[in-house]
């Protein structure tokens, strides 16, 4: 798989020039570039999307393979150790807002959690890092970015990274997968959420396949077993 670029939305407290950030970025870049298909081929070659006989739908690649191989590479090949979930603290104080029409100040209680991150670790120089590999649907990508921004603003982590497909890669994956093109219009909002005190770096890394192929002997990446994947399989069966 190919690393295309890393967008740094904000960099507070000199994180970008730290040894910890350099080591983190090099490590997860190496893990990305070791995602191969076919296995052991040294590159990620995808079967190009193909229009089905009904003339409307396409056969495309599933995404579970990419995520599972990234996490495996981080743990087994890059030698990182997951440290579990980041606690986003449901008891933290919400900002005071106004109620209408009374105009009273009010703090809405936090009644739901955000869930953990895909990968959490601490660098040798003490930076707490959370990484989200995002090949879920586009709404999942927005949730991941919001989680990272809140964790950074509250100082729970100092580095937050979202990894997403390029627009070109997206077109050959399961429909409605998050990608940089669909997130690009929201970068200004996330950039504005920089922490006011302390350290914090928020980044988006964009990834892409190395090559495309129309070879009928090259299998599509398998789909997962979630609802949309099951729906896609049923649609293919009908066609």
The percentage of the chain sitting over the pLDDT mark of 70, rounded to a whole number, equals 88
To the query of whether residue 78 is one of the catalytic residues in this protein, the response is no
Query: Quick check: is 45 in a domain?
Result: yes
The string of DSSP letters for the chain reads -EEEEEEEEEEETTGGGSHHHHHHHHHHHHHHHT--BSTTSSSBEEEPPEE-TTSS-EE-B-SHHHHHHHHHIIIIIS-----------TTSPPPPEE-TTT--EE-----S-----SEEEE-TT--EEEEEE--SBHHHHHHHHHHHHHHHHTTS-SEEEEEEE-HHHHTTBSTTB--HHHHGGGHHHHHTT--SSS-EEEEEEEEE-SEEE--TTSPPPPP-SSHHHHHHHHHHHH-
The pTM is what? Answer: 0.88
pLDDT for 185 beyond 90: yes
Query: Residues 90-134: pLDDT tens digits?
Result: 556 788 899 999 999 999 888 777 777 888 888 989 999 999 999
Query: Quick check: is 121 in a domain?
Result: yes
Query: Quick check: is 112 in a domain?
Result: no
Query: Quick check: is 159 in a domain?
Result: yes
Query: Quick check: is 102 in a domain?
Result: no
Domain that holds residue 217: 2-85+117-238
- The domain total for the chain is 1
Catalytic residue among 12, 33, 76, 134: 134
Give me the CATH number covering residue 135: 3.40.91.20
Query: Quick check: is 111 in a domain?
Result: no
Query: Quick check: is 101 in a domain?
Result: no
pLDDT band at 146 (very low <50, low <70, confident <90, very high): very high
Query: Quick check: is 143 in a domain?
Result: yes
């Amino acid at each position: 798989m190919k690393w295309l670029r890393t967008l740094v939305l904000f960099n507070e407290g000199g994180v970008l020039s730290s040894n910890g950030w350099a080591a983190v970025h090099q490590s997860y870049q190496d893990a990305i570039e070791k995602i191969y298909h076919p296995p052991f081929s040294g590159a990620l070659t995808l079967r190009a999307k193909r229009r089905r006989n009904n003339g409307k739908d396409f056969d495309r690649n599933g995404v579970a393979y990419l995520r599972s191989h990234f996490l495996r590479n981080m743990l087994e090949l890059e030698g990182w150790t997951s440290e579990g979930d980041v606690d986003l603290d449901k008891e933290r104080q919400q900002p005071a807002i106004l109620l209408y029409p009374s105009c009273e100040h009010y703090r809405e209680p936090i009644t739901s959690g955000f869930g953990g991150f895909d990968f959490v670790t601490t660098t040798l120089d003490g930076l707490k890092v959370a990484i989200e590999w995002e090949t879920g649907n586009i709404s999942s990508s927005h949730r991941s970015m919001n989680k990272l921004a809140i964790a950074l603003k509250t100082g729970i982590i100092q580095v937050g990274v979202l990894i997403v497909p390029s627009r070109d890669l997206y077109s050959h994956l399961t429909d409605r997968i998050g990608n940089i093109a669909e997130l690009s219009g929201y970068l200004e909002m996330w950039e504005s959420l920089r922490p006011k005190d302390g350290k914090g770096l928020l980044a988006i890394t964009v990834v892409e396949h190395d090559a495309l192929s129309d070879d009928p002997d090259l299998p599509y990446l398998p789909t997962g077993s979630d609802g949309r994947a099951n729906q896609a399989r049923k649609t293919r069966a009908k066609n």
